[in-house]
């Protein structure tokens, strides 16, 4: 009998599974508390269920009806809606873990995920923190310390300087690195405390602003600077490291489609990375991780210039939002791998076992209004129809009828499409975007439809200025693609028939539901 | 039932059969269309419908106009179409045109011609009293006052052609 073949006629790969044999039964995790909310909490709960591990949700007052609470095996309230009263409150999360009898805590991303005090608090409470140790988190969490570590291990980086305590030093270092420069917060993230400075005379003002912003956002006003690149690409390397010092990379993610330093579309592999460059970047990422004694999943971020030079940016000591694109091409469940690493299992793969297959692209679906400067748009989701079909994955934390709270990040879901190559992934993503229908709140689906229709994007030729240039094109973002005349006629009919139904001037056609539609019309008055 | 639908700059006249379980034969700008309609989901303020026009299939979400909006929003896979429905048989000057100071601005709900004025400036009037007769799509329609009060001004004269949203009268 012939061996199993995949769609392209190659021998099918055996499923990648971690060996659990070497782990003593006592180290096996039987219950995990998920210290997060939204789509990532749902994602972790799914991995728990796949592994036969019980899951524990925590929730704030406004999240009682959230999807992650419904899906978990147990749920514990944390407190008020404000994150510092709930998802950022270390003692309450630890207390919930203690009450539930969980052996481990998965922090997701955001909230407490990169807080060394939380990792330490878990260790002190004899809970397994599913992530790196507090020590390596501290070492890599400070951007200036991480930069120093990377420099010592011959990882390329842009000319620049660590901590700049005075304006005089900032000026001297900026002159040495050469303008333009980027001022960045050492404790930073999400673009806060970040300033591009074109000329020496603008440095003083920008320096002060960056420090103030960093202080208010992170409670730490340490800033540093780097030479700025023109139209850089943002490429990051996913790493996995076990407790025994085995560290591998799972390829890269291209994250250049950003708005105000926030990623919106990510893909893997990068459309413009040669195998040689990938290997050099991967080796550099592994060197940084090893140097920090890193354990579990992490990401090393780089900037790429137009001539293929790459420069160390920072390390994210957690699971990333965009991890699904790596999962799709590597064929690895990264959350399951995280859990098994935390149990003490050795990595079952060597670097040469990692053979990326196909191409995956992710869109971050946010509750924000593209017509109103992407302002967050909380509210009740009236319609939530998600796409499916070949190569399509939706990681969602919401449902129809859910009231999107205004206290947290407005990420609703991630739409990921996989294809045998980039064009197929793009076609499937385009199709899936058409099947996606959200109503009742504003969302950024129209933005993605527009981005995918852009020739720069389809050619894979994006840099970090792509979104800005796309939005500068004269087109009304609120309205979606132009309709054909045929569709306009159908829309005219649909509108007229709906109007007539509300006016009750045409008899009912066989309908599968009671007519809320009409009741609403009566309530609101016919117009 | 005859309706006028505005999409962008174009207007199209639609005739829907007044009886029958399904629309059946409709007319779009006078051209007959075989239409089969199925309501898939009905929710407050919105509905999903399946339309077969001839044998061409459309899956469309329709949302009724919000409080400040005139247009119905129709969504297909990739596109959104704004359709404003003008019904010559029934409309009342929208109450949203009444300002806080009590001034009601009566505007033309559709393009047409003023056939007859029924009141004069300065007249005291009752709510729902006819103010003038507007002819549109070959039908005559009485435009009524949304409130009782006094006619502050008539902005049009008999025989005048008016466009949609054009001011007809003000009631104070």
In A215-277, at which residue ranges do the beta strands (DSSP E only) sit? 223-227, 233-241, 247-259, 262-268
pLDDT of amino acid A524:
46
CB A407 within 8 A of CB A62: yes
Q: How many CA atoms lie within 13 A of A121 on its CB side?
A: 19
**C-alpha triplet A50, A113, A216: angle, nearest 5°:** 155
A509–B41: do the CB atoms touch at under 8 Å? no
Contacts of A434 in chain B (CB under 8 A): 77-78
Interfacial A residues in 357-386 facing B (CB < 8 Å): 382-383
Question: Rounded CA gap, B142 and B129, in Å?
Answer: 9
Please name the member of A482, A515, A520 whose beta carbon is closest to the beta carbon of B45.
A520
Interfacial A residues in 415-434 facing B (CB < 8 Å): 433-434
A439–B42: do the CB atoms touch at under 8 Å? no
Q: Is the pLDDT of residue A506 over 50?
A: no
Contacts of B87 in chain A (CB under 8 A): 499, 503
Q: Is the pLDDT of residue A346 over 90?
A: yes
Question: Rounded CA gap, A222 and B47, in Å?
Answer: 54
| Percentage above 90 pLDDT, chain A | 68
CB B32 within 8 A of CB B25: yes
CB A104 within 8 A of CB A33: yes
B32 inside 8 A of chain A by CB: no
Q: Average pLDDT for residues A170-183, to the nearest whole number? A: 90
pLDDT of amino acid A421:
97
- What are A275-326's pLDDT values in tens digits? 999 999 999 999 999 999 999 999 999 999 988 899 999 999 999 999 999 9
Q: Which residue has the higher pLDDT, A461 or A47?
A: A47
Q: Average pLDDT for residues A228-233, to the nearest whole number? A: 90
Q: Is the pLDDT of residue A509 over 80?
A: no
Q: Which residue has the higher pLDDT, B113 or A515?
A: B113
Q: Average pLDDT for residues A366-391, to the nearest whole number? A: 91
- Average pLDDT over chain A, rounded to an integer: 88
Question: Rounded CA gap, A493 and A249, in Å?
Answer: 55
CB A437 within 8 A of CB B75: yes
Nearest CA to CA, how far is B39 from chain A (Å)?
5
Of the pLDDT bands very low, low, confident and very high (cuts 50, 70, 90), residue A69 is very high
Please name the member of B37, B58, B62 whose beta carbon is closest to the beta carbon of A495.
B62
B21–A498: do the CB atoms touch at under 8 Å? no
**Is position A318 annotated as part of the catalytic site?**
yes
B121 inside 8 A of chain A by CB: no
Q: pTM for the whole thing?
A: 0.82
Computed over its alpha carbons, how large is the radius of gyration of chain B?
18
Residue A192: closest CA among A183, A204, A203: A183
pLDDT of amino acid A164:
84
- Average pLDDT over chain B, rounded to an integer: 84
- DSSP classification of residue A381: -
Contacts of B35 in chain A (CB under 8 A): 493
Q: Which is catalytic among the residues A318, A393, A422, A450?
A: A318
| Of the listed ranges A27-31, A522-526, B141-145, the one predicted with least confidence | A522-526
Contacts of B7 in chain A (CB under 8 A): 488, 491-492
pLDDT of amino acid A16:
54
* Most confident range, picked from A126-135, A455-464, A467-476, B15-24: A126-135
Q: Is the pLDDT of residue A504 over 70?
A: no
- What are B62-89's pLDDT values in tens digits? 999 987 788 999 999 888 899 999 887 7
Q: What's the Cα-to-Cα distance from B54 to each of A490, B26, B32, B73, rounded to whole Å?
A: 11, 11, 10, 23
Interfacial A residues in 482-521 facing B (CB < 8 Å): 482-483, 486-503, 505-521
Contacts of B39 in chain A (CB under 8 A): 501, 509, 511-513
Neighbours of A37 (CB within 10 A): 30
């Amino acid at each position: 009998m012939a061996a199993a073949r995949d769609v392209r006629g190659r021998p099918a790969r055996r499923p990648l599974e971690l060996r659990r044999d070497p782990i003593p039964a006592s180290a096996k995790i039987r219950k995990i508390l998920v210290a997060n909310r939204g789509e990532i909490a749902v994602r972790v709960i799914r991995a728990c269920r796949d592994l036969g591990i019980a899951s524990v949700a925590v929730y704030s007052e406004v999240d009682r009806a959230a999807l992650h609470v419904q899906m978990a095996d147990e749920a514990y309230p944390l407190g008020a809606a404000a994150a510092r009263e709930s998802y950022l409150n270390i003692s309450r999360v630890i207390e919930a873990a203690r009450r539930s009898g969980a052996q481990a805590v998965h922090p997701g991303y955001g909230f407490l995920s990169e807080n060394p005090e939380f990792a330490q608090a878990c260790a002190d409470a004899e809970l397994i923190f599913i992530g790196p140790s507090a020590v390596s988190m501290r070492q890599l969490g400070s951007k200036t310390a991480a930069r120093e570590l990377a420099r010592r291990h011959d990882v390329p980086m842009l000319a620049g300087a660590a901590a700049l305590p005075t304006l005089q030093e900032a000026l001297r270092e900026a002159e040495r690195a050469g303008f333009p420069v980027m001022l960045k917060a050492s404790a930073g993230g999400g673009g806060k405390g970040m300033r591009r400075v074109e000329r020496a005379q603008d440095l003083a003002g920008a320096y002060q602003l960056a420090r103030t912003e960093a202080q208010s956002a992170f409670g730490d006003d340490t800033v540093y600077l780097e030479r700025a690149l023109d139209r850089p690409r943002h490429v990051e390397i996913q790493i996995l490291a076990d407790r025994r010092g085995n560290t591998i990379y799972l390829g890269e993610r291209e994250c250049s489609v950003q708005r105000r330093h926030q990623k919106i579309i990510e893909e893997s592999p990068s459309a413009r990375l040669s195998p040689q460059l990938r290997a050099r970047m991967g080796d550099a990422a592994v060197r940084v991780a090893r140097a920090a004694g890193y354990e579990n999943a992490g990401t090393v971020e780089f900037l790429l210039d137009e001539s293929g030079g790459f420069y160390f940016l920072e390390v994210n000591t957690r699971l990333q939002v965009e991890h699904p694109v790596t999962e799709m091409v590597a064929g690895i469940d990264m959350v399951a791998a995280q859990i098994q690493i935390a149990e003490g299992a050795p990595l079952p793969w060597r670097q040469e076992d990692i053979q990326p297959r196909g191409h995956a692209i992710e869109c971050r679906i946010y509750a924000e209004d593209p017509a109103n400067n992407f302002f967050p748009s909380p509210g009740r989701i009236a319609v939530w129809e998600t796409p499916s079909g070949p190569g399509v994955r939706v990681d969602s934390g919401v449902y129809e009828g859910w009231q999107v709270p205004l206290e947290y990040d407005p990420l609703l879901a991630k739409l990921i499409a996989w294809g045998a190559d980039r064009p197929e992934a793009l076609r499937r993503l385009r199709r899936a975007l058409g099947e996606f229908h959200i109503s009742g709140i504003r969302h950024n689906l129209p933005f993605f439809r527009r981005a995918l229709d852009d020739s720069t994007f389809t050619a894979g030729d994006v840099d970090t200025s792509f979104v800005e240039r796309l939005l500068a094109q004269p087109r009304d973002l609120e309205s979606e693609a132009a309709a054909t005349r045929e569709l306009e006629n159908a829309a005219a009919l649909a509108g007229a028939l709906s109007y007539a139904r509300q006016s009750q001037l045409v008899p009912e056609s066989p309908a599968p539901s009671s007519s809320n539609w009409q009741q609403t019309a009566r309530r609101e008055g016919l117009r | 039932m005859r309706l006028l639908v505005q999409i962008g700059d174009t207007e199209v006249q639609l005739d829907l059969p007044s009886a029958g379980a399904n629309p059946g034969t409709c007319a779009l700008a006078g051209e007959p269309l075989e239409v089969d309609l199925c309501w898939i989901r009905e929710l407050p303020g919105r509905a999903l419908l399946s339309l077969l026009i001839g044998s061409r299939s459309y899956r469309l979400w329709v949302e009724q106009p919000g409080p400040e909006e005139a247009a119905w929003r129709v969504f297909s896979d990739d596109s959104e179409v704004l359709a404003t429905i003008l019904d010559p048989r029934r409309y009342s000057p929208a109450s949203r045109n009444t300002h806080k100071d009590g001034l009601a601005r009566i505007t033309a709900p559709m393009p047409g011609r003023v056939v007859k004025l029924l009141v004069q400036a300065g007249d005291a009037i009752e709510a729902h009293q006819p103010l003038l007769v507007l002819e549109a799509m070959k039908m005559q329609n009485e435009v009524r006052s949304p409130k009782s009060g006094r006619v502050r001004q008539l902005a049009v004269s008999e025989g005048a052609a008016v466009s949609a949203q054009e001011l007809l009268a003000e009631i104070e």
